Amino acid sequence: MEDKTQKIFRDAPVPKAVLLNVLPSIVSMLMILVYNLADTFFIGKTKDPLMVAAVSLATPAFLLFMAIGMLFGIGGTSLISRMLGEGKQEIAKKTSAFCFWTSFIIGVIALIVILIFRVPICRLIGASDDTIDYTVQYLTIVAFGIPFLIISNAFSNIIRSEGQANKAMMGMIIGNLINIVLDPVMILGLHWNVAGAAVATVLGNIFSAVFYLAHLLSKKSLLSIKPKDYSVEKRIVLGVFAIGIPASLNSILMSVSNIVINTFMAKHGDLQLAGLGVAMKVNMIAVMLLIGVGTGIQPLLGYCFGAGNRKRYKSVLLFATGFALCLSCVMTAICYLGAAPLARAFLDNDKAFAYAFSFSRIYIMSGPILGILFVFMNAIQSMGAAVPSLILSVSRQGIIYFPILITISIISNTPTHLAMTQPITDYIAAALSVILFVGAYKKIFKDKLPSTA
């Protein structure tokens, strides 16, 4: 069976093929963005900056489990798209089943661990005596949605590998709309405050995961989550983990780096911490949309790679890079010029707002090159280039970020200078992504594909 979406991967004009995959991915990222902003926005309406700080503190821990979903989502997408490109549909099915059942088991284990160690975990991520109760409350409730969160994040990517970008988008829209609708009801209407935000988040993830499961169990999907298709064959496990681990490491290190800078910033005060949390949310407006471009083209690039079509691969990459650059410039302008109203939407406290406004403009300084970074990051993953992918993943929010943060904290440990760490890191990481891609492209295409492809 050949699905019509697979024909788009193979035969559609490059601009059409790219946009049909990228636009749903961007919409999905936009919904994730709105979903992330909703909690902070409606918590901000309580006019309690300590609650805003608590949600900001819990967010990085929450992102750690999204990273597990990314491990199976990005790793599974990379392998499945290449297998479909090579015409190996049975391996694609087994890969999908492996990703589902393994990620579900990990989610259940994570739920248990958080419930047992919730207080020390909250202390570890930087909760102060003033914010500890709110942070524990939020994280405890969110923990019950972790298995669904992981599945939702994994399969919002994996479903794209079979060309079902619209299905992936709908799953994200359903889950996030439920969260957005329930937030004001539970936070402000029922006065559940932080607990209301957490409950809305859990229910949103449950509905999103159920939507994906319904699709995967239907006859419309080329993939499978049936237990009989579960396999731990070496080529499947290594194929998923070789790309999935570097991809998840990037997300994990992003969470760890957020936790670390939160810890540094918390020493200056809870209002500075609240301001930084809001600035990160504002910066996410650009980041999430540009991530959407990268994740959108990865299945298409992976299919072209699996099919050995070098010419189409290069055309897709060139068009996507140009599109990402244009979007980067537009989003940078929006976030920079709109920093004040965006920050004010989350914070009424004047001092916290001043920090949020300043930090937002600092963070968006890396906006113009974010598109390049995410496009080439996903291009590396599309080829199954494990080592370059690993190098880039541990560099951006690890090897590059932490030395810069520590150096700045020693030289001038001010809130403003600490915030400069991220844009400096992003420019170095973008240059590194291009260098690593060029090296991987020359080597892998030379070794695996005919020169006339």
Task: Give per-residue pLDDT as tens, 390-445.
Answer: 888 788 888 899 999 999 989 988 888 999 999 999 999 999 999 999 998 888 76
Sequence-ordered list of residues with C-beta below 8 angstroms from that of 437, at least 6 positions apart, any chain: 376, 379, 380, 388
Residue 450: band (very low, low, confident or very high) from pLDDT cuts 50, 70, 90: very low
Q: Is the pLDDT of residue 116 over 50?
A: yes
Runs of H (alpha helix) within 45-88:
49-85
pLDDT in the model for residue 451: 41
Per-residue model confidence as pLDDT tens digits over 66-113: 888 888 998 999 899 888 888 888 999 999 999 999 999 999 999 999
Q: Residue 402: which of 251, 259, 247 has the closest Cα?
A: 259
Q: Residue 360: which of 374, 347, 377, 369 has the closest Cα?
A: 347
Q: Residue 208: which of 166, 152, 153 has the closest Cα?
A: 152
Q: How far does CA 258 lie from the centroid of its chain?
A: 14
Q: Please name the amino acid found at residue 257.
A: S
| 151 vs 188, residue with greater confidence | 151
Sequence-ordered list of residues with C-beta below 8 angstroms from that of 65, at least 6 positions apart, any chain: 107, 110, 146, 149, 150
Query: Mean pLDDT across the stretch 112-119?
Result: 91
Residue 4: band (very low, low, confident or very high) from pLDDT cuts 50, 70, 90: low
Mean pLDDT, rounded, of the chain:
86
| Phi, psi angles (nearest 5°) of residue 183 | -55, -55
Rounded-to-integer distance, Cα 341 and Cα 353, Å: 10
pTM of the prediction?
0.74
Per-residue model confidence as pLDDT tens digits over 181-229: 998 999 888 888 888 888 998 999 999 999 999 999 988 888 989 999 9
Per-residue model confidence as pLDDT tens digits over 303-334: 888 888 888 999 999 999 999 999 999 999 99
Rounded-to-integer distance, Cα 262 and Cα 43, Å: 19
Q: Is the pLDDT of residue 25 over 50?
A: yes
